Amino acid sequence: MNKARALALAKVMAAIAWADEQLQAHEMNHIKGLVHEHFSREQFTGKDWCQIDCYFLAPVGSQERQRLTAELIRHLPTQRSINQAWEHLQQMADEAGEAHNQALHEVHEAIAQGRSWWWPSWFPRASVPGPNREHLMDDYFNHELAFACVCTLWAKDLPVPEDVTPLRRGGAVCGVLLRVASSDQQFREAESTAVHTILAEAYQLESTHAQIIIEAAQRRGARIDLQKCTRHLRQACNRSQRQTLLSQCFAVANADDHTSAEEIAAIRSLTLDLGLDHEDFIAAKLTIPKQQRAAHH
């Protein structure tokens, strides 16, 4: 199996996995297994992995799945290659629900009807319809939660705002707030509500956009690149706005009327990353009652 076919196949597998609007660890492992089966670490570069990972980051809707399937068909020139691809796709049916099976059936029908002569290798890419997140790779690398929000809006067939600047800033803020909230290994409902309120009210995100970004951040977890979040906020926000964000970090941490030592330590670390100093940290900490803060911080 050549690399182009493996990439196309992995993307379709991810699209099928997202059919129920969730992506499970074992589904990602199936897809990674395809790559490890055919390529060494040296053969499959970090750039190649990013082409797959961007489909792990956010749901894939039916239109994008159809486009990916058409792309896969272009890389199936023989019956043997079709059989090999279908063998891997069948793995996505293991313990699958109705949504998976329906998506798998649609892909199977498209491959059976399309065949390689419908989509020769020289067929122009521009003629394949459907959303294409690979046109947004700059956001994938630098604003991953904004990227996830746009892809999710596509998947839900909801309008994407012309100006995604608020999504980029909101995504960076969410990355910071969730790092604080989850620093004690728990992300409570009260904290989630506080993050949503801050994104919607202080950063003027639509409620739907705020919720999508929070859910994407929760899926991404510790893999969120916090340095990219804080770098964007240093560039996009003035000092006063960053001081306000520090207070918002404490508001989220204290959403359940207690701020843990781990959360306070996380905020202290973020202070420097946001280009602020110890005095700013103390001022923000004093916005919550002393009796609700863990001792010795």
Give tens-digit pLDDT for 62-91.
999 999 999 998 888 778 888 888 888 877
Is residue 283 over pLDDT 90? Answer: yes
Is residue 297 over pLDDT 60? Answer: no
3-state SS assignment for residue 129: coil
Between CA 189 and CA 195, with CA 194 as vertex, the angle to 5 degrees is: 100
Given the candidates 1.10.357.20, 1.10.3680.10, 1.10.443.10, 3.90.1300.10, the CATH classification of the domain at 138-292 is 1.10.3680.10
* CA-wise closest residue to 219 among 39, 28, 83, 91: 28
Q: Dmax over Cα atoms in the chain, in whole Å?
A: 72
List, in order, residues 6 or more apart from 261 with CB less than 8 Å away: 294, 295, 296, 297
Is residue 2 over pLDDT 60? Answer: yes
Is residue 265 over pLDDT 80? Answer: yes
First to last CA, the chain: 57
Average pLDDT over residues 173-201: 92
Mean pLDDT check: name the lowest of 40-44, 162-166, 289-293. 289-293
Residue 293's pLDDT band, with cuts at 50, 70 and 90, is low
Residue 171's pLDDT band, with cuts at 50, 70 and 90, is very high
pLDDT at position 282 is 95
Residue 210's pLDDT band, with cuts at 50, 70 and 90, is very high
Average pLDDT over residues 234-249: 97
* CA-wise closest residue to 54 among 18, 108, 97: 18
**C-alpha span between 270 and 284 (Å, rounded):** 12
pLDDT tens for 84-139 read 888 888 777 655 678 888 888 888 888 887 654 444 544 444 456 789 999 999 99
Q: Which residue has the higher pLDDT, 98 or 293?
A: 98
Residues of the chain with CATH 1.10.3680.10: 138-292
